[in-house]
Amino acid sequence: MSMISVNPATGQPVQVYPEMTPEEAAAAVDRAHDAWLGWRDSPFAGRAALMHKMAAILRERREEMARLMAVEMGKPLAQGVAEVEKCAWVCEYYAASAENYLAPEPVEVKGAGAYVAFEPLGAVLAVMPWNFPFWQVYRFAAPALMAGNVGLLKHAANVPGCALLIEALFREAGFPEGVFTHLPIGSGQVQAVIEHPRVRAVTLTGSTPAGRAVASRAGAALKKTVLELGGSDAYLVMEDADIEDAASLCVRSRLINSGQSCIAAKRLIVVRPVRAAFTERFTALMREQKVGDPLEAGTQVGPLARRDLRDDLHRQVAASVAKGAKLLLGGEAPPGPGAYYPPTVLSGVTPGMPAYDEELFGPVAAIIEAEGEADAVRIANDTAFGLGAAVFTGDRERGERIARRLEAGSVFINQFVSSDPRLPFGGVKTSGYGRELGCYGIREFVNIKTVCIKVV
């Protein structure tokens, strides 16, 4: 078996990579466990030094990694460089904060001395997606490894070169053999790895169906899981918002990674008094974005990662238009071998349309009119997803009031949703459970152990 890397801008194969056999994968898990037996007792200072070395390597080689992302999944170069910089940041953040986050916490207990300790679990399997092929991995690996766990990476099949390079970077930074291991396996082998007795936990970032599959298998094996799944983020624009600022930020959010982001602005819920003005400005800004080869400087929107993903997105757009949505911009897949799709704007979006009910994973925005604040909140929560949301208003108190009523893991006011090493990140409803990043993220994969000593 093998994995083939295909350039989505040209449709041409890039390289073929061999896949591990089940026996090789099981042996790799065993080696990771053996490495953990030593790594778990290593001092925080030693782990931190390696993380700082990793950050330095990432920054030094960021152009190389950005180019690889452009070739394997179509990310524009400037966005790839920014992604690698963010990976360096998360390494440095946990190098500086892990020891404090995991310090024993004393608890007052009458007649005894007690504290809570945070101890590593062991080998953690990470099933990671293609859309942020470096950031998603480091977002998991930096806290997990700093906590004393070891990492096993099952990456998406269309970014095998990225996965192989990440494993090499951990070796280059000086991490002991087996502390971070890339498993080049297909989805058919994931269940066996989850069930391996030396795998202690699983984290997945990906689609809701993939999350359900992994959670069911991990649950049957009684393995802890963290799931960061799909999103259909609602961006609420109130009548007192700065329309120019709101439109600009919504465009930036909607087109991050060519629209292939779980926390992109997907449902733009605009109250009636400003719906026309916002729609006009937003559409004009979407029209200005440069679509092109991700390897060319100045490209803002590259191809989608695969041709089938482009075709699925177009099906959603066409079905929404057939049900009454108005196409204001884009909506036509261009000819040629690449997986390109233009920035697209749909208005008049209502329940029953894919643009309302489903996640649009590409450069397509759905504009939904709301009667007022209460109706906007209702529409925002009228979804199976609950990852992120944003509110645009000139009244901070109002923004916070609305934010507290939105069913989402993160709500940003007058800015677009983003992940930050300092802030917990994750969702509710079918967007998953558990948290990454911040102090909560590093405590997901530890044994929260009570130690109680009788006073004599």
Catalytic residue ranges? 228, 262
Neighbouring CB atoms inside 10 A of 315's CB total 11
- Name the 3-class secondary structure at 387: coil
What is the token pair recorded at 322? 């057939």
Q: Which residues pair with 331 in a beta bridge?
A: none
Rounded CA separation 280/269 (Å)? 14
Tell me the one-letter amino acid at 181. Answer: T
Q: Which helix (H) or strand (E) holds 148?
A: none
Rounded to whole angstroms, the Cα distance separating 362 from 380 reads 20
Contact 403, 411 (CB under 8 A): yes
Q: Which helix (DSSP H) or strand (DSSP E) does residue 374 occupy? A: helix 373-381
Helix (H, G, I), strand (E, B) or coil at 362: coil
Q: Where are the alpha helices (DSSP H) in 174-264?
A: 190-195, 208-220, 243-255
Beta bridge partners of 175: none
Task: Name the region of 186 (left: φ>0; alpha: ψ -120 to 50; beta: rest).
Answer: beta
How many Cα atoms occupy the beta-carbon half-sphere of 326 within 13 Å?
8
CA–CA gap between residue 155 and residue 64 (Å, rounded): 19
> How distant, in Å, are the alpha carbons of 261, 312, 371, 442 from that of 212?
19, 21, 35, 23
The dihedrals phi and psi of 107, each to the nearest 5 degrees, come to -130, 130
For residues 138 and 147, the answer to whether their CB atoms sit within 8 Å is no
Distance from C-alpha of 265 to C-alpha of 389, rounded to nearest angstrom: 8
Cα gap 51→455, rounded to integer Å: 40
Interatomic CA distance for residues 248 and 377, integer angstroms: 22
Give CA–CA dist 86/92, Å, rounded: 10
